[in-house]
Amino acid sequence: MFNKIKTLIAALVIFSFLGGAVPTQALDRDHDNDRKCEQQIHKAEANLQKAVRKHGERSRQAEQKRHQLEEARERCHHDHDRDHDHR
């Protein structure tokens, strides 16, 4: 009887450690994805500003960079929504 209790307690301890690790990894992955999205958006914004300074507000180059910025924002928003739907 004592051995069964020891085994049960050991199993509970192991499962509590394993159960606690999974959500932490998921949060770390979400944080990494959010950071990458922020970096992509920041880079696209910088590229747009550079194109505006070099070619003008309504230039073809600025419009292309504006479109790329919009795509980056949509992609990150879509990824964020998808990640939250799977929880």
Taking the C-alpha atoms of residue 25 and residue 21, their distance in angstroms, rounded to an integer, is: 6
pTM: 0.62
69 or 86, higher pLDDT? 69
Domain that holds residue 22: 2-85
CB of 37 closer than 8 Å to CB of 79: yes
Q: What pLDDT sits at residue 64?
A: 98
Domain count, the chain: 1
pLDDT digits (tens, 9 = 90+) for 36-62: 999 999 999 999 999 999 999 999 999
Residue 78 to residue 39: CA distance in whole angstroms: 16
The overall average pLDDT reported for the chain is: 83
What pLDDT does residue 60 have? 98
